[in-house]
Amino acid sequence: MKLPNCTSDVTEEELQHVYTSLNQVPIKSVSQLFKVLSDETRVKIAHALTIQEELCVCDVAAITDTSVASASHHLRTLKNMV
């Protein structure tokens, strides 16, 4: 599996382990998670919800300096990710 000119210290067995592990992870789901969290407002909301488990949409709008409509959209996007 190693490329012929590769000079890293990673063994063939270690490389095979990484390859096998990657094929067991739902990469598409992980990729979608990172895409959803690529928005700064959604990261703020997700973090806020780790601090305070329940927040209404108007509270989310206030702490993210967005409109209620925008906060609602971001919350819906986060909800659909789960």
**Looking at residues 15-22, what average pLDDT do you find?**
91
Nearest to 71 by CA among 59, 53, 81, 54: 59
Q: What is the mean pLDDT of the chain?
A: 92
How does pLDDT run across 21-52, given as a tens digit for each residue? 988 889 888 899 999 999 999 999 999 999 99
Full-model pTM: 0.73
Reported as type and span, the H/E element at residue 20 is helix 12-24
Domains (range + CATH), the chain: 26-81 (1.10.10.10)
Q: Tell which residue, 64, 73, 24, 20, has the closest CA to residue 44.
A: 64
Mean pLDDT along residues 52-79 = 96
